[in-house]
């Protein structure tokens, strides 16, 4: 299979949907055909029902085929090492390096996002993270601002520099199947992103409209997930998309647009461009792993870039990563190895496979590094069945701390809360300035 030639990385082309009046339909209730989405884990069946794989890489050992299969969903996708070296070159051209900037990374909480995090941090240093389920931003202006206050300050200009990275993620396995991933040390098929898959199932079953909420309302036992779902629902409603025709790639792209816009809104509130320059790098992280993590089929990590820009002295410049050439496989492997530390050194790194296409150099992520990084390098060890070491008895603490059942819980409401709520409610409706806001006089006579 030849590489897809038509790779135009026009930022956010898919976001510009034509607006059609009355396009939003109440979604047909299809809950009967969907499995339970109670758990935030693989719902492989849900994906299979909605999105049979349209593209299959016939030979999973052929990296070019696999790149082409992912490119059908994400045109312009790059190997993660190729991506990060291009970003480093692009940002350096505008004054941002790992030595003079603070990186802020926003990824999903899933441990498999660690590979991209390692690449970011190898190039741009330890990052302040604002991670949330599905990559949703819930840290707010204070959270973003906290990261910025840790930035190095340029000795010459006195200015600070921030680099924001933001990427929701998706798995597309080595055969080209959406959502599927095989995790180290865990038999069977798992899925990613679990949070976005759960959102997709519930939005299709309940309809988008029902899932839209007034900002500020969330489930106290599930704050992050409920905010992710309502932000996504409002985005899909605003874009006038039919959720029932969206597959996981479409949902992930919509989530990326929503999260990127939220990030830019928070930056607007938190960053003072009189004293700081910043860069924004966004897209989708794609795990293109073997259907069996431990077999000899290479595991690949890819990135679909959507926006790369810098704001220097208040001036915004959009950058095009496709105009920066790939490094050779040898060059990329040298850089990649440095980002993986000793875990990539074993003999396995000598047999790393690579492929060079018209658009990107793709290199395998070494199995040893990933198994080590994801905490499944030796799942047979340390079994309690083999007998505990003697110290395990002597290190036991005394009695367990006493529990007070009356302590406020995250979803409990007590009398004081009710009294306070009632006072606030009464005050709001007896406050003339509040009422005048509704009258349109904005508190002025």
Chain residues in the site for Zn ion (CB under 5 A): 108, 110, 193
**Helix-strand-coil split of the chain, %, nearest 5:** 40, 15, 45
Task: Please check whether residue 228 is in contact with residue 134, taking contact to mean a CB–CB distance below 8 angstroms.
Answer: yes
Q: Which is nearer to Zn ion, 121 or 224 (CB)?
A: 224
In SS3 terms, 242-279 reads as: CHHHCCHHHHHHHHHHHHHHHHHHHHHHHCCCCCEEEE
Q: Could you tell me the smallest distance in angstroms from the CB atom of residue 267 to Zn ion? A: 23
CA-to-CA separations, 383 to 371, 379, 386, 388, in angstroms, rounded:
19, 9, 6, 8
CA-to-CA separations, 191 to 38, 58, 148, 180, in angstroms, rounded:
15, 21, 34, 5
Q: How far apart are CA 444 and CA 236, in angstroms?
A: 37
Q: Could you tell me the smallest distance in angstroms from the CB atom of residue 134 to Zn ion? A: 6
Q: Which is nearer to Zn ion, 50 or 277 (CB)?
A: 50
Q: Which is nearer to Zn ion, 193 or 356 (CB)?
A: 193
Q: Which is nearer to Zn ion, 91 or 193 (CB)?
A: 193
Among 2, 7, 57, 60, smallest CA distance to 353 is for 60
Task: Please check whether residue 164 is in contact with residue 104, taking contact to mean a CB–CB distance below 8 angstroms.
Answer: yes
Residues sharing a CB contact under 8 Å with residue 285, sequence separation 6 or more, in sequence order: 80, 107, 113, 116, 167, 168, 169, 170, 301, 302, 303
Backbone φ and ψ for 180, nearest 5 degrees, come out as -80, 140
3-state SS, residue 93: coil
Task: Please check whether residue 252 is in contact with residue 14, taking contact to mean a CB–CB distance below 8 angstroms.
Answer: no
Q: Which is nearer to Zn ion, 199 or 246 (CB)?
A: 199
* Widest CA span in the chain: 80
Tokens of 159: 């200015």
Rg of the chain over Cα atoms, rounded to whole angstroms, equals 24
List 354's β-bridge partners, or say none: 363
Q: Which is nearer to Zn ion, 135 or 143 (CB)?
A: 135
Q: Could you tell me the smallest distance in angstroms from the CB atom of residue 193 to Zn ion? A: 3
Q: Could you tell me the smallest distance in angstroms from the CB atom of residue 306 to Zn ion? A: 18
Q: Could you tell me the smallest distance in angstroms from the CB atom of residue 305 to Zn ion? A: 19
Q: Could you tell me the smallest distance in angstroms from the CB atom of residue 183 to Zn ion? A: 12
Q: Which is nearer to Zn ion, 193 or 233 (CB)?
A: 193
Q: Could you tell me the smallest distance in angstroms from the CB atom of residue 378 to Zn ion? A: 25
3-state SS, residue 66: helix
β-pairing verdict for 276-288 and 354-356? unpaired
Q: Could you tell me the smallest distance in angstroms from the CB atom of residue 248 to Zn ion? A: 11
Q: Could you tell me the smallest distance in angstroms from the CB atom of residue 110 to Zn ion? A: 4
Q: Which is nearer to Zn ion, 108 or 365 (CB)?
A: 108
Q: Which is nearer to Zn ion, 86 or 229 (CB)?
A: 229
């Amino acid at each position: 299979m030849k590489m897809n030639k038509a790779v135009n990385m026009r930022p956010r082309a898919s976001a510009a949907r034509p607006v059609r009046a009355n396009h939003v339909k109440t979604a047909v209730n299809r809950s009967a055909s969907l499995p339970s989405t109670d758990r935030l884990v693989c719902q492989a069946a849900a994906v299979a029902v909605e999105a049979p794989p349209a593209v299959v890489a016939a030979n999973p050992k052929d990296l070019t085929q696999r790149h082409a299969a992912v490119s059908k969903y994400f045109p312009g996708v790059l190997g993660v090492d190729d991506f990060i070296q291009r970003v480093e070159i692009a940002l350096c051209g505008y004054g941002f390096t790992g030595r003079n900037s603070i990186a802020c990374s926003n990824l999903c909480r899933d441990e498999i996002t660690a590979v991209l995090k390692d690449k970011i941090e190898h190039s741009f240093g330890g990052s302040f993270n604002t991670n949330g389920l599905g990559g949703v931003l819930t840290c707010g202006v204070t959270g973003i601002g906290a990261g910025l206050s840790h930035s190095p300050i340029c000795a010459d200009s006195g200015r600070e520099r921030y680099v924001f990275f933001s990427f929701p993620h998706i798995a597309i396995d080595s055969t080209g199947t959406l959502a599927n991933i095989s995790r180290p040390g865990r038999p069977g098929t798992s899925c990613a992103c679990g949070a976005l898959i759960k959102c997709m199932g519930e939005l299709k079953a309940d309809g988008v409209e029902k899932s839209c909420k007034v900002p500020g309302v969330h489930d106290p036992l599930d704050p992050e997930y409920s905010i992710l779902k309502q932000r996504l629902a409002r985005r899909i409603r605003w874009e006038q998309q039919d959720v029932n025709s969206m597959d996981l790639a479409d949902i992930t792209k919509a989530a990326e647009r929503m999260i990127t816009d939220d990030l830019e809104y928070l930056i607007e509130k938190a960053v003072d461009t009189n004293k700081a320059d910043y860069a924004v790098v966004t897209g989708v992280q794609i795990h293109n792993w073997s259907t069996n993590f431990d077999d000899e089929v290479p595991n690949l990590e890819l990135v679909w870039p959507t926006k790369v820009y810098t704001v220097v002295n208040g001036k915004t410049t959009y950058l095009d990563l496709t105009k920066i050439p790939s490094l050779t496989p040898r060059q990329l492997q040298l850089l990649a190895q440095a980002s993986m530390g000793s875990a990539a050194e074993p003999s396995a790194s000598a047999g790393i496979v690579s492929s060079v296409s018209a658009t990107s150099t793709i290199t395998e992520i070494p199995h040893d590094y990933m198994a080590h990084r994801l905490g499944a390098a030796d799942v047979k060890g340390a079994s309690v069945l083999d007998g505990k070491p003697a110290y395990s008895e002597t290190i036991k603490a005394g009695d367990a701390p006493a529990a007070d059942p009356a302590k406020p819980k995250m979803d409990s409401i007590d009398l004081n809360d009710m009294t306070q709520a009632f006072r606030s409610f009464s005050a709001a409706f007896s406050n003339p300035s509040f009422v005048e806001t509704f009258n349109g006089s904005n508190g002025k006579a």
